[in-house]
Structure 1
Amino acid sequence: MRLLRLPGVYRPRGDTELLRQALCAVSVPPGARMLDVCTGTGLIALTGARLGAAEVHAVDISARAVLTARWNGWLHRAPVRAHRADLLPRAAGRFDLVTANPPYVPYVPSCGRGGTRRTRTVDAGPDGRRYLDRLCEAAPRLLAPDGVLLVVHSALCGTERTVELLHKAGLKAAVVARRVQPFGSVLHERAAWLEEQGLITPAERRSAHDELVVIRGDLPTR
């Protein structure tokens, strides 16, 4: 799919593709209302529109990402409405489908050890869960009955933690997709710090591979 992308907007990577594959495996009901959180270029929002969603809201904290998603929606003549928001949308109502690729890389507080750089598109607090926990807590308010949530993140953040929080929120939750890929530049820079924090083992640091997961949550009809 041809996409425009302004400088600084998150480029579709392995996590984007894994989420896209998981989305394509979902049965999107005709006329569905969809929300794409941390949309970046809008690729996932566009995919949802192609699968049958009639109203797609794409949100991102980055003004450049919002503009990029709008351009791409126009380019592909898709029913995508892009909004600027801090993670959660301003659009009223509930959604049949919610997708999310939020920042999830543990953030090193200082640029000293490990030579890290802070980037808004990836940093998510010392444990990588700054946005994931908010999303899990908000899921029941975002989803319509029988609605589906798909969220992608690194196993570094705690796969079981996400599943547990969604269960506590009243959703059925399970891992539906996995992908192992080499560390990107940010994880390479932070590898020593991640090992010190116990987020990766020495063996995992040597192998320099990360596991991505897509977790699906379903809100039952009450």
Structure 2
Amino acid sequence: MIVRLPGVYPPQHDTSLLSDALLFEPLTAGSRVLDLCCGTGALSVAARRAGAGHVVAVDISRRAQVNTWLNAVVNRKRVDVRRGDLTDAVGSELFDLIISNPPYVPALDDALPTAGIARAWDAGKDGRSVLDRIAARAPDHVAPGGTLLLLQSALCGVDKTEAILEEFGMHVEVSARASVPFGPVMTGRRMMLESRGLITADQDTEQLVIIRATK
């Protein structure tokens, strides 16, 4: 059971795709997992259910922090919930698995929202404002032999994410793809996305991609 507080990004197709991917990772009682951009904490709870012994959940939103704590309590799964800007919240800690479902929807401009639920999806004009930072910073927190599972839309340049991760010494592959119907945000931005050549006139689905990077 996952509870969602008003103003927090609801678990959707992308969350389910990452939850399924977790089942293929060798999580044990000794595994340390970091959930970046945790939202409701659904993935943190999923990681604990999958066998991870220690899970740290991070989000810049105070409401998301509370929501993750609440879901950990409701599901009786211990999660270390922290508020902060991505990896700033974990110092020099290393993790066997980092999972992240960050904002990746192209927006009207590069000014990122500082409050409200739009922070959960707005990611600058190219949708990469958060993706680029995670790809550049997360490798420093992946333990030797560890893994990063990073979800994004194919509209945002999968090749660029792969290139950044490889530059920082990671072995990269696309481990899962899924075509999903446009949600309300994507539907509302259809004309903008079409004008930029990101979608076709009759397109009503987007492809979600999980990038699996190992050290």
TM bracket (short chain): over 0.9
Q: Deviations over 1:143-199 (max 9, x none)?
A: 110110001111010111111111111000111011101111111111111122222
> In the alignment, what sits opposite 2:109?
109
Matched, 1:217 2:213: yes
Matched, 1:162 2:161: yes
1:135, distance to aligned residue in structure 2 (A): 0.5
> In the alignment, what sits opposite 1:26?
25
> In the alignment, what sits opposite 1:175?
174
User: How many residues get paired?
Assistant: 209
The separation in 2 between residues aligned to 1:144 and 1:109, in whole angstroms, is 36
> How much is the aligned-residue C-alpha RMSD, in angstroms?
1.6
CA contact (8 A) 2:7 2:117 kept: no
The separation in 2 between residues aligned to 1:57 and 1:164, in whole angstroms, is 27
1:139, distance to aligned residue in structure 2 (A): 2.1
3-state SS in 2 of match to 1:147: strand
3-state SS in 2 of match to 1:207: coil
Matched, 1:96 2:96: yes
Q: How does 1:70-89 map to 2 (within 5 A)?
A: 70-89=69-88
Q: Please, which moves more after superposition, 161-170 or 9-18?
A: 161-170
Whichever residue aligns with residue 104 of structure 1, its letter is Y
The separation in 2 between residues aligned to 1:42 and 1:78, in whole angstroms, is 11
CA contact (8 A) 1:59 1:89 kept: no
3-state SS in 2 of match to 1:192: helix
Distance change (3 Å), C-alpha of 1:89 and 1:55: farther
CA contact (8 A) 2:38 2:68 kept: yes
> In the alignment, what sits opposite 1:53?
52
TM-score (norm 1): 0.90
3-state SS in 1 of match to 2:176: strand
- Structure 1 gaps of 5+ residues are 111-116
3-state SS in 1 of match to 2:120: coil
The separation in 2 between residues aligned to 1:50 and 1:188, in whole angstroms, is 34
CA contact (8 A) 2:87 2:138 kept: no
The separation in 1 between residues aligned to 2:52 and 2:104, in whole angstroms, is 27
Whichever residue aligns with residue 29 of structure 2, its letter is P
1:91, distance to aligned residue in structure 2 (A): 2.4
CA contact (8 A) 2:29 2:54 kept: no
Whichever residue aligns with residue 205 of structure 2, its letter is H
- Structure 2 gaps of 5+ residues are 111-115
> In the alignment, what sits opposite 1:144?
143
The separation in 1 between residues aligned to 2:12 and 2:82, in whole angstroms, is 22
1:211, distance to aligned residue in structure 2 (A): 0.4
Report runs of 4+ in structure 1 exceeding 2 Å deviation.
none
CA contact (8 A) 2:9 2:39 kept: yes
The separation in 1 between residues aligned to 2:63 and 2:124, in whole angstroms, is 23
> In the alignment, what sits opposite 1:114?
none
3-state SS in 1 of match to 2:166: helix
Q: Deviations over 1:78-100 (max 9, x none)?
A: 12011111222422411111000
CA contact (8 A) 2:9 2:117 kept: no
